[in-house]
């Protein structure tokens, strides 16, 4: 008999989503606007504490609009963490600006404040800094915000992976001048695809909605004085989001429980470390990850690699995933600069990539699934 597939992270639906969709059909609001879109924005504002929100077609679209609104253009420099998904950086290149990649620190795996300081020495006036809260772990926001403020450079928070993660009592996504969330299929809540841009400045979210709907001037005729996009969230999609948001806290609690289960299950294996959580944070634990200690070997003296563990899991029909490959190592971004915390120092991002992997973190996984995953990983050591 074929073994059941155990997933990394996939959608978990509850039923209310369909109610909101049905309402949209019944009232014929099948369009990139409508009551679900407006309500989802309001509900996200209430959940995150963000002042204002603009619902969009994707997290990537939200990052793109954030950069457009901050005036990022040709020849501008934008600081971007290296250890992240390519979508964090792609919009920088859409606008023909130049990303400069910043190394990670070990405490949270996110943008290193020391490396950021060094980047400012080399490039004193970037147009923006993008920070990411990788796998749901809050970045060192106090330090990063202080550095940005010193230089008068706006911070964009890519909170695509960290909806529900709280840093010192406040939601990630609400610290930067602009924050963005993603509702892609494997995120902590999903709308199948979607995103949101948030800001305390209503002018910014209004501008986002304007640009997302083809930048149509308020004139009788179809008049345009700026280039716009078709980036608005649909009323159907927003319905899914409203249903999902009702279960956000439940999803977060289950994700955190998965993390703790792994942490306990591997506590007696010194060669395994779980991904760090922020000591000042209440992280959503979107994906639980682990790293293998340098030089860890099997009893037969073979070096233990992430590939070895991923292969062992795949044999049991369990999905896992490498850590994001650092962007400064990507062929498409090879021409751009990369800054570490100290001159000539080895890259922390590269080291995490070399020794790490993402473990199955789907909230529907059963105790038996968890047992199989844990047994399989332990069996590699
Ligand atoms: C998923 C993700 C995005 C992109 O969001 P989409 O909604 O898929 O466009 C951006 N940044 C990070 C860090 C992500 O994980």
pLDDT tens digit sequence for 222-260: 999 999 999 999 999 999 999 999 999 999 999 999 999
| Residue-wise burial string across 14-24, b where 16 or more C-beta atoms lie within 10 A, e elsewhere | eebbeebbebb
Atom 2 of ligand 1, residue of closest alpha carbon: 160
Confidence of residue 1 (pLDDT cuts 50, 70, 90): low
Atom 11 of ligand 1, residue of closest alpha carbon: 88
Shortest-distance atom of ligand 1 to CA 195: 7
Q: Is 84 in the pocket of ligand 1 (CB under 6 A)?
A: yes
Instruction: Find the 85 Cα to ligand 1 centroid distance in Å.
Output: 7
- Given 3-state DSSP classes, what are the helix, strand and coil percentages for the chain, each rounded to the nearest 5? 40, 15, 45
Determine if the pTM surpasses 0.85: yes
Q: What percent of the chain has pLDDT over 70?
A: 100
> What is d(CA 293, CA 350) in angstroms, rounded to the nearest whole number?
14
Residue 162, CB-side half-sphere exposure with 13 Å CA sphere: 31
Pocket test for ligand 1, best of 87, 179, 186, 240 (most atoms within 8 A of CB): 87
> What is d(CA 45, CA 53) in angstroms, rounded to the nearest whole number?
6
- ∠ CA 284-248-194, rounded to 5°: 90
pLDDT tens digit sequence for 192-218: 999 999 999 999 999 999 999 999 998
Q: Which residue, among 8, 2, 4, 9, has the nearest Cα to 251 in the 3D structure?
A: 9
**Is the model more confident about 263 or about 220?**
263
Q: Is pLDDT of 71 > 90? A: yes
Q: Is 88 in the pocket of ligand 1 (CB under 6 A)?
A: yes
């Amino acid at each position: 008999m074929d073994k059941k597939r155990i997933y990394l992270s996939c959608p978990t639906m509850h039923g209310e989503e369909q109610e909101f969709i049905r309402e949209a059909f019944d009232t014929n609001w099948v369009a990139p606007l409508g009551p679900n879109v407006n309500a989802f924005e309001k509900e996200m504002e209430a959940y995150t504490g963000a002042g204002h929100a603009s619902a969009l077609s994707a997290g990537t679209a939200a990052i793109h609009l954030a950069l457009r609104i901050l005036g990022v253009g040709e020849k501008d420099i934008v600081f971007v963490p290296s250890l992240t998904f390519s979508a964090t950086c792609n919009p920088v290149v859409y606008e023909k600006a130049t990303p400069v990649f910043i190394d990670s620190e070990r405490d949270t795996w996110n943008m290193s404040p020391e490396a950021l300081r060094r980047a400012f020495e080399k490039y004193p006036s970037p147009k923006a800094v993008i920070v990411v809260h990788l796998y749901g772990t809050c970045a060192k926001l106090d330090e990063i915000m202080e550095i940005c403020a010193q230089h008068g450079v706006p911070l964009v928070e890519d909170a695509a992976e960290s909806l529900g993660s709280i840093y010192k009592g406040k939601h990630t996504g609400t610290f930067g001048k602009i924050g963005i969330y993603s509702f892609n299929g494997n995120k902590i809540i999903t709308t199948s695809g979607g995103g949101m841009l948030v800001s305390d400045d209503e002018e910014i979210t209004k501008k986002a909605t304007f640009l997302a709907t083809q930048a149509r001037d308020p004139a009788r005729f179809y008049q345009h004085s700026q280039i716009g996009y078709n980036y608005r969230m649909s009323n159907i999609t927003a319905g899914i989001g409203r249903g999902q948001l009702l279960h956000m806290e439940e999803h977060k609690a289950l994700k955190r429980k998965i993390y703790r289960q792994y942490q306990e299950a591997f506590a007696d294996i010194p060669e395994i470390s779980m991904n760090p959580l922020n000591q000042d944070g209440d992280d959503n634990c979107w994906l639980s990850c682990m790293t293998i200690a340098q030089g860890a070997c099997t009893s037969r003296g073979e070096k233990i690699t992430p590939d070895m563990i991923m292969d062992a899991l795949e044999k049991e029909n369990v999905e896992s995933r490498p850590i994001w490959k650092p962007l400064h190592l990507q062929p498409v971004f090879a021409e751009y600069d990369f800054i570490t915390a100290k001159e000539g120092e080895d890259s922390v991002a590269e080291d995490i990539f070399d020794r790490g992997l993402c473990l199955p973190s789907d909230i529907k996984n059963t105790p038996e699934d968890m047992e199989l995953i844990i047994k399989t990983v332990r069996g590699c050591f």
